[in-house]
Structure 1
Amino acid sequence: MKRAVVLMAVLMAGRALGQEAGSGEAGEAARAGGGGGRPVTWSVRVPTELGFKADLDNSAGSVTVSRVGAELGVGIPIATMAQLELGFDYEYSRYEFSNATGFVAGVNSPWQDMHRETVKARFMQQHDMRVAWLVGGSIGLSHEEGADLGDSIYGSAYGGATYQVNAKLKIGGVLGLYTRIEDDPWVLIVPIVDWQIDDQWRLTNGGRPGLALYYTPDPQWTLSLSSWFDSRDFRLDDKGPAPGGVARDQSMAVQFGATYRATQQITFDVGVGMKLFGNYELENAAGRRIVEVDVDPSAFLSISATVRF
């Protein structure tokens, strides 16, 4: 099951790519014929995800997962048609296990309060009206409360290019390296497709590790149908059921969403969806698997607010 989920992720794109080269202000500057006088831009986003109870498929018990976070970003014009983007993301995840005794004998909850802090950087250059390229990376901590932070480090590095085929179609590719806690890194070659079908419909795999179809009936509203791959590794508490071990959480999500643009600076997003092909792994401090547990499909609600200035 896990291999099938990973294969779908490789085919559909990697999260650390973010927005593809040629998007954002660097791309807009190129299409406008120059980048002089562009201001520094800031953004703050607060995402939340409220999960509903999911039964553990091949083990006793159930789990409910909720997340809340904060994301700060800044875009800095470097030269004509180029931009440096810096960001800091924080995410808190709460895993509410109930009678999940199949992970460790006599233990109802293998892990609970998880934190991720990530620093990101990306440089984008619009070479000409058709070709753009980007390089970037991230480094961060992913851990349970009480874990050794020095053993909780993860990161990524990537580079790629895009080609504007015509006014509506952009294609490209990215090579990315993604480290994992106590496991081999993932090396992915990811295609990029961004197709503006018409004035209202758009199909893209940029921005999230998946595929999204957008419908914009008017300037204030956008509806979307999207699917993406989620993968998180956490270093565990030194005093927990698996001292200094690793928890892995993988799933595919399908979501129907809506975006409301209150002003040019403020947007709100809401979505309802299902988590599919859920899978948990519990490993010891050396990365050796203790147990693997599948998770039944479950519903979730996502809400976020973004301010740009």
Structure 2
Amino acid sequence: MTSVTRFLAVYGGAFFLSATGADAQQQFGWATQFDGLAVYQGNAGLSGGGQFSAERAFVRGGAFYRFDSGASAGLFLSYGQFSYDFSFAGNQPWDRIRDVRISAPVRFSVGNSATVFVSPQIRWDYEDGASSSDGYTYGVFAGITWQVNPKLRIGPAFGAFSELGADGTEVFPALLVDWDIAPRWNLSTGTGLGATQGPGVILSYQHTDALSFSLGARSERVRFRLDNTGLAPGGVGEDRSVPVVLSVDYQPNPAVQVSAFVGAELDGRLTLDAANGAQISRQDYDTAPIVGFAARIRF
């Protein structure tokens, strides 16, 4: 990767721990939220020769309902598109990728201090020209946290997702944390907009009521179905990396937040598999600079 979907997840706060963000801003009833993200990744050299860059955009919209009990349930639809530009025309494993997903996050309390989070999800990741149904996967991310003290909420979580071009289900553990480690400082995890797997980690500093700074990182991997032309007709592409992002977040009121960020993708790797599952190529890529902008509106 570097799928666009990953970056808001890195710096955008703890989705599960904050109950989808807008949920925390009201007592009960319906709330609506829209997110947008645009990212540019600069040139990165490939171990097999040449280099590539990428441009990405992602939008999400949805609504959820908070009950008098404090429980909440929602439905979100998101669409992402990202384009890869490879310097060698003969080494162009894929071009433009689409990412469509539907999620239905649910949160409810158990006892006086525990909160359960469940977010089932279905996805379609595919190259332009491929059938969306061939890029279909599904899964769930779930966890439980306890309010240990007024400054710390923590608990275990797990993800279970099907994978393109692979049998069985990938299951991975995670840890959910929301910890006010010092005045104005917070350490948290969360999936955020477009996260492909479990939570990343975000260290944030609240400079003023409206202005904050954060440093986030996560391990990311995205797989997508390829079209019936190119180097691997009907095969599967994979992009994985570790994005690290420094963000400036401005929130003039509870309904609007805008962010600008810069960072880098570390330990990147592109993999190309044939339709029968055999690996055709695997290329590491150099650290890639990234820069972008994100916005969120709630009402």
The TM-score with structure 1 as length reference comes to 0.85
- One-letter amino acid of the structure 1 residue matched with residue 271 of structure 2: E
Out of 154-163 and 218-227, give the one that drifted further: 154-163
| Distance in 2 (alpha carbons) for counterparts of 1:132 and 1:175 | 15
Code of the aligned partner of 1:228: R
Q: 2:145 is matched with which residue?
A: 162
1:68 aligns with 2:57: yes
- The DSSP-based 3-state class of the residue aligned with 1:205 is strand
Q: What amino acid does structure 2 have at the position aligned with 1:73? A: G
Alignment partner of 1:176 is 2:159: yes
1:78 deviates by 4.1
Query: Residue in 2 aligned with 1:296?
Result: 286
Selected match of 1:84 from 59, 62, 73: 73
1:20 is aligned to: 16
Contact 2:19 2:72 in 1 (8 A): no
1:93 aligns with 2:82: yes
Hey, what does 1:273 align to over in structure 2?
263
Partner Cα separation in structure 1 for residue 165 and residue 128 of structure 2: 18
Q: How many residues matched?
A: 282
Q: In structure 2, do the counterparts of structure 1 residues 98 and 181 end up closer, same or farther at CA, with 3 Å as the change threshold?
A: same
One-letter code aligned to 2:115: A
Gaps of 5+ in 1: 1-12, 30-34, 101-106
8 Å CA contact 2:103, 2:120 repeated in 1: yes
Correspondent of 2:131 among 132, 135, 148: 148
Q: Distance in 2 between matches of 1:23 and 1:181?
A: 29
> Superposition pairs for residues 128-139 of structure 1, below 5 Å?
128-139=111-122
Distance 1:27 1:76 in 2: 8
Q: 2:237 aligns with which of 242, 247, 251?
A: 247
List, as ranges, runs of 4+ consecutive aligned residues in structure 1 with deviation greater than 3 Å.
21-29
How many angstroms does 1:241 deviate by? 2.3
What RMSD in Å do the two structures reach over aligned CA positions?
A: 2.3
Deviations 1:43-75 (A, max 9, x none): 11110111100010x211100011101111211
The letter for the 2-side match of 1:110 is P
Aligned counterpart, 1:8 = none
- When normalised by structure 2's length, the TM-score is 0.88
Structure 2 alignment gaps of length 5 or more: 1-8, 193-198
What is the aligned counterpart of 1:257 among 247, 251, 276? Answer: 247
Q: How big is each residue's C-alpha offset from its partner over 1:174-194, in whole Å with a ceiling of 9 and x where there is no partner?
A: 122022101243201212221
1:125 to 105, 108, 114: 108
Aligned-partner SS, 1:183: coil
CA distance in 2, matches of 1:52, 1:180: 28
Q: Cα distance, 1:240 vs. partner?
A: 2.5
After the TM superposition, which of the residue ranges 112-121 and 169-178 deviates more from structure 2? Answer: 169-178
TM-superposed CA distance for 1:79, in Å, is 5.0
